[in-house]
Amino acid sequence: MRTIAVLFLLVACFVATSSANTGSAISGKITDSETGEGLPGVNILLVGTVLGTTSDVNGEFRMGGLPTSRVDLRITMMGYKQVVKKDIELKAGETVRLSIAMQSTVLESPEILITANKRRQNIQDSPNSIGVLTARDLAAKNQVYLDDLLGYASGVNFVGSQINIRGSSGYNYGAGSRVLYLIDGVPVMPGDSGDIKWDLVPASQVEQIEIIKGAGSALYGSNAMGGVVNIITKKATARPATQIRYSAGFYDKPAYEEWRWTDRLLHFDNLDLDHTRMIGSSLNLFASFGRHQSTGYFQNGHYQRWNAAAKLFWRLTATANLTLSTQYEQGDRGAALLWRSQRYALQVPPQAIGDYVESDKFNATAIYKQALNRKLGIKTRVSYFRNFWENFFHDNQSHSTAHRFGFEFQADHQISENNVLTFGSEESWDHVISQLVGTHDQTVLSVYAQNERRLVDELHLTVGVRFDHHTVDIGFADGEWSPKFGLVWHTAPQLSLRLSTGRGFRAASMSERFSEGIYSGLRLVPNPELKSETAWSHEFGANLRLAPHLFADMAVFANDYWDLIEPEPDTDQTIQFINLTRARIAGAEVTLKWNGWKNRLGADLGYTFLYPRDLDRQTWLAYRSRRLLTASASLTLAAIETGIDYRYAAKLDREAVKLYPNDDRVDQQVVDLRLTLNLAAHQITAQVKNLFNHNHTQVERTLLPIRHFMLTVGTRF
Amino acid sequence: MVRFLSVLALLLAAVLSIACDSGLEPTRSGFRGRITFVGEKPADTDQVIVVAATRFPPTQIDEIFLGEPLPLDRETVDYTVYSPITDYAAIGVVWKQQNQPWDVTNIIGIYLPTSNGFVPGRVSIADRQTMVDSVDIQAHYSKVKRAVDSSVSGRLRASGQWPSDSESLLIFASTELIPSGLLDLQFGAPIPAPFDSIDYRLTIQPGTYRLFGVLLIRIGQPLDVSAIRGFYSRTAGSPFPSSVVVPTDTSRITGIDIAFDPSKAPFTASH
């Protein structure tokens, strides 16, 4: 706790020392040249500096603390022609006001800025494959939770609640994740289970999702072994705006009479509202509230969750700002680990009826940013995440509380126009009090540096390294070096090539290391000496424009794994996590994007082929689908937008599962249909999910959602 | 126009093929029969279930298929286990103690269609409509094994040639000198073969075991008296087994070493 207090003091010092700085500023409004409406989410960059921002929901933006000189401004947004404002003269203490009208166009290039590499950059300058779900995608898909949304991203597949990016994670019963979860760049994973809590931030609070594919430990350390998911939450903006969204729906009858377990209509409803406004002259506030409840489509499938979030953006000086943000979730849900049998696939075993889980989660982050000059920016972050759950099972009642404290200092130094150095240090401390794992502490201390430079005109080089020192209170300690190398070559306007290699690792979660007890009739055996698992990730990719309206991205990749931590079931009904597998996942991925008929028609396609091998046993690696396909098409006619989405994951072979190899398994095929009516600030959406009522499982003996219908009404004022 | 129509036709065909595939269906195949409980149900009974094993004895957890818990308030229970298409080498009834994990060796009944108590009945589910009838089982509550701290340990020494079809070795203990069937035996976990010498530890119920030995599991061979390869005897080389006494549920009996020849069955000639 003393460390955290010192860190808060440090932040306060930065606040105090920065208050004397002044400079010039640029503000303005960005609009659609045809409609005159403000454009949200437009990227504004001061060329050759570390400074940039995005427009708010009304198209307004402001950048303060700028140097008194002539600058160039680059304004980009997907679906619009890039605008460059040259030679803007900035004078001390003055604000330059700009009005920029952007011209809608067929896609010239997917101009998307991402922050997943710890600083704002164009997606095409990243040496890694990065998938992005933009605000537009989020609005179109209209999902409540992020795991439902991410299933539409190319190369992403869920097994239970565990996200697999190019087959990285497999399935380990929720104990540890090989994908790191960030909220606004801050790791948010509980110290006990080390998994991702998808219910903490509902989709209504999110502006953009960035998915880094491949090892990201050179910047983020543990867990970023198979990839990183960075959630960018909505901004607190100056202009007051309120948004309300209510959706309700019901589940269809099961496809087979044997699966009917109730005569009740099974239904759900969701309420989300948020508000943003300016308080005084320097504070922007965003607040959000949500309630989501469902009877569930299977026995014990009910849930009720309350979400709240707040974000306070405080412009301290022209060159410094402080962002305080918090998310909270409280809920209870029925627990259904396995179905009763495939004969009764929507029921739980009789003894498990009534099992439920209560949980709450709280996350708070303070980020202080300051541009010391036009070449050097610093960021300091302190964060706290608490995860609590309590099981009320027929054969077990247990609870766990995990606290995670985090601190990070980061600096971005624009050494020259073509050379950026990012460096920093990060510390985290986990304290867990749990009936499952006992009371334990672990700490991670890290330093990192990454240099991005343009070698020649169109050749970008990225090199980076991070060192993590990990200690556990039982005396266990280890250190991991994670280097990274990447090249991007924009060979022609229509083609850029990328090459990257990097090391990743994941320290064992406390659940994997210390879990002990009897759960669902199985005895969990601890293994305190678990080593970190490691990986090398290699990728070669190409991004090209095949035709004026058709873009493609292709990648071949190979990820080598050592000491994979896997749950090993035994004949005497015990399960222990052990360092087991030497594995390799090789594969290829193709994504296509097409827009036509003046942007009224759109189509996306993503195909991933995986070759996941357990090299020790010469078998398929467990819980990895070898073929993934996502496809979507949309048509916009005046105020009406219609779309169809399709997801496919090949079925798991007998040898690619750990339990019940004789169970029936099928491909996963889901088709969703949507129709949206946009009436100025109001929106009505009708959706059918799992249109063809395809019945499938991912985790053994858990049937995924059957066909259901949803109507959403939303308004903004 | 032709290209547009071709693409449209292709898309339509794809959508139709998705629409026609409904995925998983309820299992309609399986086996059923009657369980007859013998003896008094122990007070610490948590669940009793029917278990099917694709291999007997099972060596991996994925070789086991668990049925649903049986009602415990009757002496006879008609049951149905819905199971996918599989060949089962054995069907049994397993007892679970309260507050203890599942132990699939805690067998209190085995499907025995013949009079040979060592040969479990095979059940073959050939297609999605097959429902095998009359898989009747007697379940003896007297055979339950409670969680104990008592154990027997020692060293196994093999001398001689292992048969090429050897899979594993199973330590067993029997209160009867001549066991009449599998239910008379307590088993340990299978030990992969071949090996020269290995230490073992068998968790075991208190009692006097008149026969304590090892069985060789061979591919496709029944697990009967002919599979016995050796037994414990205080006098080296003696043809007579010695008893092993486990007085209480915390006793740790050590030094129970067994020397055996994997290629020879000591009881075959006299059986």
pLDDT at A197 > cutoff 80 = yes
Shared domain check, A127 and A90: no
| Bridge partners, A24 (sequence order) | A66
A694: closest CA of chain B, how far (Å): 5
Q: What is the 3-state secondary structure (H, E, C) of A154-173?
A: CCEEEECCEEEECCCCCCCC
Q: What is the 3-state secondary structure (H, E, C) of A190-204?
A: CCCCCCCCCCCCCHH
Beta carbons of A186 and A579 less than 8 angstroms apart? no
Shared domain check, A172 and A66: no
Confidence (pLDDT) at A116: 64
Confidence (pLDDT) at B258: 94
Largest CA distance in chain A: 77
- The CA distance from A341 to A660, in Å, is 12
pTM tops 0.95: no
> Count of residues for chain B?
271
Beta carbons of A609 and A649 less than 8 angstroms apart? no
Residue A147 has which token pair?
């795991």
User: Higher-confidence residue: A438 or A119?
Assistant: A438
Confidence (pLDDT) at B270: 39
Number of domains in chain A: 2
Instruction: List pLDDT tens digits, range B216-260.
Output: 988 877 777 788 899 999 887 788 899 999 999 999 999 999 999
To probe the interface with A, which of B25, B46, B107, B191 has the most A CB atoms within 10 Å? B25
Q: Is the backbone of residue A142 left (phi > 0), alpha (psi -120 to 50) or beta? A: left
Specify the CATH number for the domain of residue A162.
Answer: 2.40.170.20
CA separation, residue B2 to residues A601, B6, B8 (Å) = 19, 6, 10
Shared domain check, A192 and A143: yes
pLDDT at A77 > cutoff 90 = no
Confidence (pLDDT) at B267: 66
Shared domain check, A517 and A487: yes
Same fold, B30-143 and B151-260: yes
Shared domain check, A638 and A563: yes
User: Per the domain annotation, does A662 fall within a domain?
Assistant: yes
Shared domain check, A157 and A54: no
Q: Which residues of B touch A (CB under 8 A)?
A: 15, 18-19, 21-28, 30, 46-47, 54, 58-62, 65, 67-69, 82-86, 96, 99-105, 189-190
Q: Which amino acid is at A595?
A: N
Beta carbons of A221 and A446 less than 8 angstroms apart? yes
Mean pLDDT confidence for A610-620:
91
CATH of the domain spanning B30-143 = 2.60.40
Shared domain check, A34 and A180: no
Residue A155 has which token pair?
């190369």
User: Per the domain annotation, does A108 fall within a domain?
Assistant: no
Q: Which residues contact A324 (CB under 8 A, 6 or more apart)?
A: A310, A311, A312, A314, A364, A365, A366
Confidence (pLDDT) at B195: 93
Shared domain check, A462 and A366: yes
User: Higher-confidence residue: A291 or A126?
Assistant: A291
pLDDT at A227 > cutoff 80 = yes
User: Per the domain annotation, does A107 fall within a domain?
Assistant: no
User: Per the domain annotation, does A323 fall within a domain?
Assistant: yes
Specify the CATH number for the domain of residue A76.
Answer: 2.60.40.1120
- Please, what is the average pLDDT of chain A? 88
| Bridge partners, B212 (sequence order) | B173
Range of the domain at A166: 113-716
Helical H segments across A127-278, by residue range: 135-141, 146-150, 217-220
- The CA distance from B93 to B50, in Å, is 5
- The architecture in CATH of the region B151-260 reads Sandwich (2.60)
Please state the ipTM of this predicted complex: 0.81
Instruction: Report the half-sphere exposure of B70 (CA within 13 A, side-chain side).
Output: 30
Shared domain check, A406 and A530: yes
A143: closest CA of chain B, how far (Å): 22
Q: Which amino acid is at A647?
A: R
Shared domain check, A122 and A62: no
- The CA distance from A120 to A414, in Å, is 13
Helical H segments across A518-574, by residue range: none
* Cα–Cα nearest to A404, from A374, A433, A373: A433
Shared domain check, A294 and A193: yes
ω into B194 cis (within 30 of 0): yes
Beta carbons of A40 and A61 less than 8 angstroms apart? no
pLDDT interval class at A9 (50, 70, 90): very low
Binary contact (B105, A349; C-beta < 8 A): no
Instruction: List pLDDT tens digits, range B116-149.
Output: 888 899 999 999 889 999 999 999 999 999 889 9
pLDDT interval class at A514 (50, 70, 90): very high
Domain end (from A82, A102, A122) = A102
Instruction: List pLDDT tens digits, range A523-552.
Output: 889 999 899 999 999 999 999 988 888 999
- The CA distance from A697 to B82, in Å, is 18
Confidence (pLDDT) at B236: 79
Of A521, A669, A695, the CB nearest to B96: A521
Domain ranges of chain B: 30-143, 151-260
Instruction: List pLDDT tens digits, range A143-171.
Output: 999 999 999 899 999 998 899 999 998 88
User: Per the domain annotation, does A58 fall within a domain?
Assistant: yes
User: Higher-confidence residue: A36 or A676?
Assistant: A676
Confidence (pLDDT) at A82: 82
- The CA distance from A701 to A144, in Å, is 24
Domain end (from A83, A102, A121) = A102
Residue A135 has which token pair?
């605000």
User: Per the domain annotation, does A408 fall within a domain?
Assistant: yes
Sign of the Cα pseudo-torsion (B144, B146, B152, B156, in order)? positive
pLDDT interval class at A573 (50, 70, 90): low
A258 interfaces chain B, CB cutoff of 8 Å: yes
To probe the interface with A, which of B22, B24, B145 has the most A CB atoms within 10 Å? B24
Burial of B73 (0-12, 13-18, 19+ CB in 10 A): exposed
Provide, rounded to the nearest whole percent, the portion of chain A with pLDDT above 90: 57
Burial of B204 (0-12, 13-18, 19+ CB in 10 A): buried
DSSP state of A104: B
Instruction: List pLDDT tens digits, range B33-45.
Output: 999 999 999 999 9
User: Higher-confidence residue: A489 or A598?
Assistant: A489
- Please, what is the average pLDDT of chain B? 88
Q: What residues 75-134 of chain A have any CB closer than 8 A to a CB of chain B? A: none
Mean pLDDT confidence for A243-251:
96
pLDDT at A14 > cutoff 70 = no
The angle subtended at Cα B16 by Cα B10 and Cα B22, nearest 5°, is 145
B30 to chain A: nearest residue by CA? A343
- The CA distance from A491 to A487, in Å, is 12
- The CA distance from A622 to A583, in Å, is 11
- The CA distance from A246 to A712, in Å, is 6
Domain end (from A71, A102, A133) = A102
Of A340, A522, A692, the CB nearest to B102: A522
Shared domain check, A677 and A583: yes
Confidence (pLDDT) at A422: 94
Where do the DSSP E strands lie in A349-416?
356-373, 376-393, 396-416
pLDDT at A177 > cutoff 80 = yes
